[in-house]
Structure 1
Amino acid sequence: MINQLSWKVGGQQGEGIESTGEIFSIALNRLGYYLYGYRHFSSRIKGGHTNNKIRVSTTQVRSISDDLDILVAFDQETIDLNYKELHEKGIIIADSKFNPKKPEDTQASMFAVPFTERATELGTSLMKNMVAVGATCAVLNLNIKVFEDVVEEIFGRKGKQVVDKNMEAIQAGFDVMKEQLSDKVELMELEKADGNKRMFMIGNDAIALGALAGGCRFMAAYPITPASDIMEYLIKKLPPVGGAVIQTEDEIAAVTMTIGANYGGVRALTASSGPGLSLKMEAIGLSGITETPLVIVDTQRGGPSTGLPTKQEQSDLMAMIYGTHGEIPKIVMAPSTVQEAFYDTAEAFNLAEEYQCPVIILSDLQLSLGKQTVEPLDYSKVEIRRGKLVTEELPEIENKGYFKRYEVTEDGVSPRTIPGTKNGIHHVTGVEHDETGKPSESALNRNAQMDKRFRKIENLKFDTPVYKNAPHEEADLLIVGFNSTRGAIEEAMARLEKDGLKVNHAHIRLIYPFPSNELLPLVQSAKKIVVVENNATGQLANMMLMNVGHAEKVTKMLKYDGNPFLPHEIHTRCKELV
């Protein structure tokens, strides 16, 4: 019996690889297992190698595994590209159609199973993925009945005959694989799961759901990988609650529509990735100087330019802080789990309205598209706070003057009205302005307005700006990261502790304003610091050096080949350093 399994299915994009992984993982999730899935896919609609690696465990997992137990291959390329991940007792289950060849330098076992042939006999070769699922069940000694409900949900609208045929395909795969297995091959039977019901979702869906729970009722966006799922989710979910989604002609229209909606009093969202955020920068500055709430999601991907649009990277950090021309206050959040993505997105709308500035939710491809088990969400934790928004009738202003929308206040936040509020009329412009919004180039006014705007975020209240797992008052090593690296860091930390090292972990959840006060004690108490990030220049490490110092302790651990960190990579590098 094993308490953890790593399973990967691969083939050409467009031949059902994603649905194979989906059916397999949903069924195991419903049995109560924890799962973490990561898809490797090409930046084209059809063709090119793709794979889906899924980790199944009886305990919480938040990263892909170092090695591989089972590789399901629909073509030879899948074997050639992925076999080195298999450990010596691993198994390759390959479609006999392509006459699979086992590499000479692997001790893993290989079985040629007639996926396509059995599926064709049952009516269509499209069901070869179901045959593959059945073959996997044989290796796991898993009862195929666990797939009945999933198959019914996915294919039920096509009729009972289609459902029955797909179950027959799973049974066929199970039977033919069972015939090939021998006593020499050890079955990979999983320990029984706890049976608890949990959600199974990608980070983008959690972001979209968080927006919905946080009162968002409008989204304007232009499709772009890996952010499009947010828009696709809300296209279905916003109309039933009186909301709307508009697919705009470009990213500039998307962000300016979002600013307009927020100015009108509607909580609104836009989402994109690096190239789209570049186009939004001027409008983000408009939000900053007009002090109009704005929530933006940036799902980072490989750059620059088109770069690696379907691969992991964390290289937008500096751009999100300093990308706009001129200087404006903004808030940049960086959730590290799917749960945090939900709660942080809901909170982003509160912060945007309370501090009247742009709020950027910084995600990355691994967090946004990686599918994982999520504990039930607690909607009672979500609250709506609208800051200094004035909706009731205001007292008449003497001499029919304008409302002081940009009044210089002690905390930097001015009262805010929406169009139609009686006696709330004011001027709005992207040029520097006085308290009523009228353009002004006065040096005294410029200083007063700039200071007022930045005063807003001096005392920003944000729950858990740094996630800390710091059991040691003095540590041999402090590992720091942001976004999706958390899972791999946590596993590496556990291994380093077993090696006898004292290790603390800090994950930065508020990128800007940078949480220096929360991080500094951990930095001071550590002998060495390793900053783990998916970029080439060490952007998070540089932010730490700018805000916390202690450069002599800091080492950058960088990976920018498009792939996520594996736990063993962090473990090995950290051991070398100490």
Structure 2
Amino acid sequence: MKSQISWKVGGQQGEGIESTGEIFSTALNRQGYYLYGYRHFSSRIKGGHTNNKIRVSTTPVYAISDDLDILVAFDQETIDLNYQELTSEGVILADGKFSPEKPEDFEGLLIEINFTEIAKELGTALMKNMVAVGATVQLLGLSLEPFEELVELMFKKKGDKIVALNKEALKSGVAEILKYGEEIGDRFNLEDSDGVGHLFMIGNEAISLGALAGGARFMAAYPITPASEIMEYMIDKLPKFNGTVIQTEDEIAAAVMAIGVNYAGVRAFTASAGPGLSLMMEAIGLSGMTEQPLVIVNTMRGGPSTGLPTKQEQSDLMQMIYGTHGDIPKIVIAPTTVEDAFYLSMEAFNLAEEYQCPVILLSDLQLSLGKQTVPELDYNRIDIRRGNIVSDVPDAETKDYFKRYEVTETGVSPRTLPGTKNGIHHVTGVEHAEDGKPSESPVNRIKQMEKRMRKIEALKIEQPVVESGGHADADILVIGFISTHGAIEEAMMRTDLKVNHMQIRQLHPFPTEEVQSALDKAKKVIVAENNYQGQLAQIIRMNTQHQNKITSFVKYDGTPFLPHDIEDKINTVVNEGVDK
């Protein structure tokens, strides 16, 4: 019996690969198994190789598995591209329609099943995914009943006949595997789960739900991979909360519209990816100069330009911190798990209003589109903090404008919403005096610049870093951000070395004190990130001491870190010393 297995389905984009993985994983999640799924897909609507790799476990998992137990192949390309991940006991379930060829160096078992032909006999080739799922269920030694229940739930609107045919497709897949009973044995029989279903969502859904819980009632956005699911979620959900979504003509309009709605007093945001964020830079500067709240979600992907729009990368970090022209206050935060994405998304709206500045929630493709089992969310943690909004402005002897940009000790000025009596003020993107009227006075410029910048000088979110390991004298400290969390944690569990781990959740302003403390406790430091330049490592070097301890470990081929990548690097650094 196995406590966990790794399963992958692959084929041409547009032939049901995603739905196959969705059916398989959803049924297992409902039974109480823990899952981590990651899709590899082409930047085309149809055609090109795609696969969906899903890790199934009786205990929580937070990373893609290093290897593979079962590969469901709907074409030869899937075998050629993925078979090397299979263990020596691995199994390929291949569709007979393409006369599958077993690679010479593959030690496992290739089973040819006529998925497509069986489905056609039942009425449509589209049901080949159900045949494949049924075959997998039998391989894992699981009951078919939960999968049949899911079929009823999914297809009941299409009528009893469709439900019955899909159930028959599942049973056909089971029957095909039974023909190989002795040859397969019980090598992949999965241990029973706890039977308690869990939340199961992608990061973009958690970000969206967090925005709703955080009071967002307006979104302006332009579709772009891998952020589009946020807009799609909001289109479905926001109207139920008296909110709305506007699909704008471009990302420039989306950011400016969100600023305007925030000015009116409604919590608003936008979401995009690298190319869209490039277009938003001037608007981000406008938010900083006019001190209007603005929440932007950036789901990073491969760049530059169109780059690798459907692949993993973390190369926007420097742009998010330093991209705008001129000096403005800006907050950049980054969740570490799908669960964390819910809470940190919610907090982004509080920070934007409390500090009256742009807040960038930084995600990446792996976190945004990877589907994970998520613990029950704690809605008691919902906390709406609107900052220094003034609703009662005393009558003044003169008819001067309200001092919207009053110089204060904290740097945060009082804010009125449109329509507030005696709260009228001027708003402009040029430098301005306390009442908002344009001013080019050098004295005023110094006062206003210093006021704006000092409001985030001492900013610390709750848990700016997340640490594990706890060694006072560690052999290695591994630092990462966003989706590298799971791979690093798993690598730690595999080694006997004293390893500490830190994920940075607040990237700007940088939490120097917390990071420096962790560096002090370690002999050597590895910074793991998905970009060429080692941007996170550079920022750490800029803000801390012990630079000679730090080695940058980068991966920029479009694929996420696997646990063995981190494990191998830990061993290399310990055995050979820090790379210069």
**Counterpart for residue 305 of structure 1:** 305
TM-superposed CA distance for 1:185, in Å, is 4.3
**Counterpart for residue 265 of structure 1:** 265
SS where residue 367 of structure 1 aligns? helix
**Counterpart for residue 578 of structure 2:** none
Question: Do 1:141 and 1:187's aligned partners in 2 also have CA atoms closer than 8 Å?
Answer: no
TM-superposed CA distance for 1:101, in Å, is 0.5
Letter in 1 for 2:529: E
SS where residue 51 of structure 2 aligns? strand
**Counterpart for residue 548 of structure 1:** 544
**Counterpart for residue 507 of structure 1:** 503
Bigger drift between 186-195 and 114-123 goes to 186-195
> Quick one: distance in 2 between partners of 1:107 and 1:495?
26
> Quick one: distance in 2 between partners of 1:219 and 1:154?
30
**Counterpart for residue 358 of structure 1:** 358
**Counterpart for residue 440 of structure 1:** 439
| Aligned match for 1:532, one of 524, 528, 539 | 528
TM-superposed CA distance for 1:182, in Å, is 2.1
Bigger drift between 453-462 and 471-480 goes to 453-462
Question: Do 1:397 and 1:403's aligned partners in 2 also have CA atoms closer than 8 Å?
Answer: no
Q: Deviations over 1:427-456 (max 9, x none)?
A: 000000010001111111111111101111
| Aligned match for 2:571, one of 568, 572, 575 | 575
SS where residue 246 of structure 1 aligns? strand
> Quick one: distance in 2 between partners of 1:349 and 1:32?
33
> Quick one: distance in 2 between partners of 1:541 and 1:13?
36
**Counterpart for residue 402 of structure 1:** 401
Letter in 1 for 2:324: T
> Quick one: distance in 2 between partners of 1:369 and 1:150?
22
Residues paired across the two proteins, number: 574
**Counterpart for residue 413 of structure 2:** 414
Q: After TM superposition, which residue ranges in structure 1, 4 or more long, deviate above 6 angstroms?
A: none
Q: Deviations over 1:193-221 (max 9, x none)?
A: 11122100000000000000000000000
SS where residue 182 of structure 1 aligns? helix
**Counterpart for residue 494 of structure 1:** 493
> Quick one: distance in 1 between partners of 2:157 and 2:379?
32
TM-superposed CA distance for 1:495, in Å, is 1.1
> Quick one: distance in 2 between partners of 1:549 and 1:275?
34
| Aligned match for 2:513, one of 507, 512, 517 | 517
> Quick one: distance in 1 between partners of 2:376 and 2:502?
25
Bigger drift between 175-184 and 557-566 goes to 175-184
Question: Do 2:131 and 2:169's aligned partners in 1 also have CA atoms closer than 8 Å?
Answer: yes
Letter in 2 for 1:501: L
* 1:19-38 pair list within 5 angstroms: 19-38=19-38
Letter in 2 for 1:79: I
Question: Do 2:460 and 2:511's aligned partners in 1 also have CA atoms closer than 8 Å?
Answer: no
**Counterpart for residue 481 of structure 1:** 480
> Quick one: distance in 2 between partners of 1:437 and 1:458?
23
> Quick one: distance in 1 between partners of 2:120 and 2:259?
54
The question of 1:342 aligning with 2:328 is answered no
Q: Which runs of 5+ in 1 are unaligned?
A: none
TM-superposed CA distance for 1:241, in Å, is 0.9
TM-superposed CA distance for 1:397, in Å, is 2.3
* 1:250-289 pair list within 5 angstroms: 250-289=250-289
The question of 1:462 aligning with 2:456 is answered no
* 1:207-226 pair list within 5 angstroms: 207-226=207-226
SS where residue 417 of structure 1 aligns? coil
Q: Which runs of 5+ in 2 are unaligned?
A: 575-580
* 1:102-251 pair list within 5 angstroms: 102-183=102-183, 185-251=185-251
Letter in 2 for 1:284: I
> Quick one: distance in 2 between partners of 1:176 and 1:195?
27
SS where residue 494 of structure 2 aligns? helix
TM-superposed CA distance for 1:143, in Å, is 1.3
Q: Deviations over 1:264-320 (max 9, x none)?
A: 000001000000000000000000000000000000000000000000000000000
TM-superposed CA distance for 1:146, in Å, is 1.1
SS where residue 506 of structure 1 aligns? strand
Q: Deviations over 1:318-374 (max 9, x none)?
A: 000000000101100010101110000111100000000000000000000000000
> Quick one: distance in 1 between partners of 2:548 and 2:386?
44
Question: Do 1:406 and 1:436's aligned partners in 2 also have CA atoms closer than 8 Å?
Answer: yes
**Counterpart for residue 425 of structure 1:** 424
> Quick one: distance in 1 between partners of 2:44 and 2:97?
25
Question: Do 2:262 and 2:294's aligned partners in 1 also have CA atoms closer than 8 Å?
Answer: yes
> Quick one: distance in 2 between partners of 1:233 and 1:444?
48
SS where residue 179 of structure 2 aligns? helix
Question: Do 2:218 and 2:266's aligned partners in 1 also have CA atoms closer than 8 Å?
Answer: yes
> Quick one: distance in 1 between partners of 2:452 and 2:243?
31
SS where residue 468 of structure 1 aligns? strand
SS where residue 446 of structure 2 aligns? helix
Question: Do 2:33 and 2:197's aligned partners in 1 also have CA atoms closer than 8 Å?
Answer: no
> Quick one: distance in 1 between partners of 2:152 and 2:534?
48
> Quick one: distance in 1 between partners of 2:465 and 2:414?
31
SS where residue 459 of structure 1 aligns? coil
TM-score by length of 2: 0.98
Identical columns (%): 67
TM-superposed CA distance for 1:482, in Å, is 0.1
> Quick one: distance in 2 between partners of 1:372 and 1:533?
21
SS where residue 362 of structure 1 aligns? strand
> Quick one: distance in 2 between partners of 1:183 and 1:17?
27
TM-superposed CA distance for 1:149, in Å, is 2.3
> Quick one: distance in 2 between partners of 1:62 and 1:303?
25
TM-score by length of 1: 0.98
Taking a change above 3 Å as real, the CA distance of residues 386 and 179 of structure 1, as seen in their structure-2 partners, is: same
> Quick one: distance in 2 between partners of 1:491 and 1:65?
10
SS where residue 304 of structure 2 aligns? coil
